[in-house]
Structure 1
Amino acid sequence: MKNSYIAVIGGANIDIQGFPHDKLVFHDSNPGQIKVSLGGVGRNIAENLVKLGVNTKLISVVGTDPYGLKILEEAKVIGLDMEDSIVLKDEATSIYLSMLDESGDMVAAISYMDIYEKLTVDFIKQKKKVIENSKLCIIDTNIPREAMEYILMNNNNIDFFLDTVSTAKARKVKDLIGYFHTIKPNKIEAELLTGIAINNEDDLKIASEYFLQKGVKRVFISLGDNGVFYNDGHNINHIRPPRVKVVNATGAGDAFMAALAYGHFYELGIEEMAKMAIAASLIAISHENTINPYMSIESIKSKMKEIELC
């Protein structure tokens, strides 16, 4: 049914993460734990949305190797619709290998994501109905630029949300930014996309207004443990979260985007969306899994009460 679901187009992969027991020592073998879990920015956002009770369709690509089959199997278990994804025989599913430091922050990573090049314009054309019947569509920059451009140019009535993924991948959308309804770059990505150095609140306002002038309707600039700055041309604010212990920071951005999409899906105001997004990211970083198994709309609302007290 039209407008009854969110479409997500982006990455689905296996995450392999290393957690040292003590302070990370470079150029040496570090005793610790290694965790293998399902990941990919698009897939992570989609799983968080499912946990928030939103019907979600994920358009991605996996191989028929054990990793790809595990991603498809888990999607069925949690209720994530991957019927519109490509499953390629004899192709290796994307892998993201990361090393975290003793504080839970990622210090280095290697991504093997060649399979995403199979998300071609010809394939995306076959999914036009899935995209145009969604309430909103989230795109992550793992997919090829040509596919992103085609989606944005040929679906004029859809609100597109952008997850920039990384500084390197954000470059793909620099000249397409105005086609997105909502974006959530971090400070470094915002600097890259605008050409504006961000050193204070005034710079945040100038950068956000650059995006608005390009055509973006809602701008959220993520500032890590300093919260989020948002601007929609009418409402401007900087919300700072309470301090929490970081167990694993990897999934914070994915949870943040899922909460923004939830807010838009239910037509909430920008301030409530921002508070929900911060609450979701705080819940995400408090668990060793990239996606907190206890993520829910109830847990977000509870965490929002702590933000109100800041």
Structure 2
Amino acid sequence: MIKITQREFEIIEIIKKNPFVSQQEIAEALQITRSSVAVHITNLTRKGIIRGRGYVVDERDHVSVIGGANMDIVGYPFHELKRQDSNPGGVKVSLGGVGRNIAENLARLGTHTKMFTVVGEDIYGDQIIKESEKIGIDMSHVKRVQEEGTGTYLAILDHENDMDLAIASMNIFKKLDRKYLEDSKQVILKSQVIVFDTNLEEEIFRYGVDLFKENDLFLDTVSHTKALRAKSVIGAFHTIKPNRLEAEALSGIAIQDYHDLEKACGFFHSEGVKNVFITLGPEGVFYSDGLKNGMMKAPKMTPKNATGAGDAFQAALVYSELHGFPIKDKVRFAIGASVMAMNAYETINPDLSESEIRKIMKKVEEMK
């Protein structure tokens, strides 16, 4: 992420108001020398924040996430889960939604993140907006509707704290429509990266991808069924992270071994995808950028809650892209973030940070 000083920020604000302002006028406004202004202008130009005369400001300073936001209700048993019976255990209620979770992970990593979603005019909608804003997500563009209740995700974990069963009540996302995307277009176009999850209705999903195809698009497939919504537009994405089943559905290639993974990635690259990360559960992650490929595996652990691992992985991929990590470090960083997610009872680890992830990166194994 590009860092700017306070003085540079002040200069940018002046230029936004008057792109043809002179360096002397900037100097007088800030009560500094013209030569100091010239140095700051040179630095801002090198950073790519301003371009030429009259000082066109590149405002691509944020990540936009377009997708689901809902309440998560998660139940977990104290002992081995018994079907068709009442199990002693605990229940947690927290903010959720694939898109919103990705946005929170990004915000906790210090990334300026704007959320584009729809919630109800109800208590859950109020809670999602208020708590997300406290975390640092920009929720000012979220659409609110009265006709549907805020999305709700109900999950039952097994005795190893992995998901056994879930129900997703997401009818409200039919209200995330063309008009909403059009109304938000100018803000979204200024994104460094745009993340789509497939909770959008298929026609709206494809419309949004086409609308923003000139930006770097990242795809979160959400589930095997919803992943199919991306099949016809998969080539528009810069980065994708399907699991094995989703990769098979999107590529039409059955994946049984390493060669099949290479073949599936070859298909995605031929369609236009730059980076492919296929998650394989305990077996690790297969990665490819068209030039390099391989597999990496997380250190062994018993998860406290595995439901947020994929969201953390996706956010880490975005973060590592913004910071110019090489492909192998992207994988290590993303695996590290997912391990941190699984090490917390919450869906999102409140202690998530680059420094904490880097401690785990050292333990990530490259498979031979």
| TM-score when normalising by structure 1 | 0.97
What residue number does 2:25 align with?
Answer: none
**2:203 match: secondary structure:** helix
> For 1:210 and 1:233, how far apart are their aligned partners in 2?
10
Q: Are 2:198 and 1:141 equivalent residues in the alignment?
A: yes
What residue number does 2:27 align with?
Answer: none
> For 2:170 and 2:308, how far apart are their aligned partners in 1?
18
Structure 1 outlier segments of 4+, above 4 Å: none
Per-residue CA deviation, residues 130-157 of structure 1 (Å, 9 max, x unaligned), is 2210001000000112222222212232
Q: Are 2:173 and 1:119 equivalent residues in the alignment?
A: no
How far is the alpha carbon of 1:187 from its aligned partner?
Answer: 0.5
> In 1, are the aligned partners of 2:196 and 2:218 still within 8 Å (CA)?
yes
> For 1:151 and 1:88, how far apart are their aligned partners in 2?
20
How far is the alpha carbon of 1:4 from its aligned partner?
Answer: 1.1
Q: Are 2:72 and 1:10 equivalent residues in the alignment?
A: no
How far is the alpha carbon of 1:17 from its aligned partner?
Answer: 0.5
> In 1, are the aligned partners of 2:148 and 2:171 still within 8 Å (CA)?
no
**1:117 match: secondary structure:** helix
Residue number among 230, 234, 242 corresponding to 1:177 in the alignment: 234
How far is the alpha carbon of 1:245 from its aligned partner?
Answer: 1.4
What amino acid maps onto 1:166 in structure 2? Answer: S
1:214–1:306 distance in 2 versus 1, CA, 3 Å: same
Question: Which structure's relative contact order is higher, taking Cα pairs within 8 Å and 6+ residues apart?
Answer: 1
> For 2:96 and 2:211, how far apart are their aligned partners in 1?
29
What residue number does 2:271 align with?
Answer: 214
Q: Are 2:319 and 1:262 equivalent residues in the alignment?
A: yes
How far is the alpha carbon of 1:3 from its aligned partner?
Answer: 2.1
How far is the alpha carbon of 1:2 from its aligned partner?
Answer: 2.1
Residue number among 294, 299, 302 corresponding to 1:237 in the alignment: 294
How far is the alpha carbon of 1:75 from its aligned partner?
Answer: 1.6
| TM-score when normalising by structure 2 | 0.82
- Aligned-residue sequence identity (percent) comes to 46
What residue number does 1:81 align with?
Answer: 138
> In 2, are the aligned partners of 1:2 and 1:135 still within 8 Å (CA)?
no
What residue number does 2:303 align with?
Answer: 246
What residue number does 2:246 align with?
Answer: 189
Per-residue CA deviation, residues 177-232 of structure 1 (Å, 9 max, x unaligned), is 11111000001111111121111111111111111111111100011122210111
How far is the alpha carbon of 1:91 from its aligned partner?
Answer: 2.8
What residue number does 1:224 align with?
Answer: 281
> For 2:85 and 2:225, how far apart are their aligned partners in 1?
28
> For 2:275 and 2:352, how far apart are their aligned partners in 1?
25
How far is the alpha carbon of 1:309 from its aligned partner?
Answer: 8.7
**1:135 match: secondary structure:** strand
Structure 1 residue runs of 5 or longer lacking an equivalent are none
What residue number does 1:287 align with?
Answer: 344
**158-167 vs 263-272, greater mean Cα deviation:** 263-272
Q: Are 2:113 and 1:56 equivalent residues in the alignment?
A: yes
> In 1, are the aligned partners of 2:227 and 2:250 still within 8 Å (CA)?
yes
> For 2:130 and 2:139, how far apart are their aligned partners in 1?
10
What residue number does 2:260 align with?
Answer: 203
Report how many residues are paired.
310
What amino acid maps onto 1:82 in structure 2? Answer: M
> For 2:104 and 2:308, how far apart are their aligned partners in 1?
11
Per-residue CA deviation, residues 268-302 of structure 1 (Å, 9 max, x unaligned), is 21111111000000110111110011111111111
> For 1:156 and 1:211, how far apart are their aligned partners in 2?
16
Residue number among 317, 331, 334 corresponding to 1:277 in the alignment: 334
What residue number does 2:217 align with?
Answer: 160
What residue number does 1:299 align with?
Answer: 356
> For 1:226 and 1:130, how far apart are their aligned partners in 2?
39
How far is the alpha carbon of 1:308 from its aligned partner?
Answer: 5.6
**1:16 match: secondary structure:** strand
> For 1:21 and 1:44, how far apart are their aligned partners in 2?
26
> For 1:156 and 1:67, how far apart are their aligned partners in 2?
32
> For 2:104 and 2:244, how far apart are their aligned partners in 1?
25
- Which of these two proteins has the greater Rg computed from alpha carbons? 2
> In 1, are the aligned partners of 2:296 and 2:366 still within 8 Å (CA)?
no
> For 2:171 and 2:213, how far apart are their aligned partners in 1?
29
> For 1:143 and 1:135, how far apart are their aligned partners in 2?
21
How far is the alpha carbon of 1:89 from its aligned partner?
Answer: 2.8
Q: Are 2:125 and 1:106 equivalent residues in the alignment?
A: no
What amino acid maps onto 1:57 in structure 2? Answer: K
